[in-house]
Amino acid sequence: MASVGVLIFLAVVGAVICAKARVPAGAVAFSLIAVVLFVATPLGQEVPGALGSFFTTVDDAATPVLNGEVSGAGE
């Protein structure tokens, strides 16, 4: 599993090189590879759950505002 760290590092370096060379498709591809490799590690397995929790919190906070509901505290 130690070689996964090297692969993630190389994917990030590849993304930086592609970004500097102004090749956006390559940079996106290398970035996606790095994210997939990171999520495959034991440390990154909690990332999808954390993102889901974050977006749920943002949705819960934004829904009343977008629906035009007024809370009692502001009146």
pLDDT score recorded for residue 16: 93
Confidence of residue 1 (pLDDT cuts 50, 70, 90): low
**pTM (global) more than 0.75:** no
Confidence of residue 71 (pLDDT cuts 50, 70, 90): low
Q: Is residue 42 part of a domain?
A: yes
Mean pLDDT of the chain: 86
| Number of domains composing the chain | 1
Give the tens place of pLDDT for each residue, 9-66.
999 999 999 999 999 999 999 999 999 988 888 888 888 898 999 999 999 998 888 8
Whether the Cβ atoms of residue 9 and residue 35 lie closer than 8 Å to each other: no
Q: Is residue 35 part of a domain?
A: yes
Residue carrying structure tokens 């996964």: 4
Q: Is residue 74 part of a domain?
A: no
Q: Is residue 16 part of a domain?
A: yes
Provide, rounded to the nearest whole percent, the portion of the chain with pLDDT above 90: 45
Q: Is residue 73 part of a domain?
A: no
Whether the Cβ atoms of residue 59 and residue 52 lie closer than 8 Å to each other: no
Q: Which domain holds residue 23?
A: 2-68
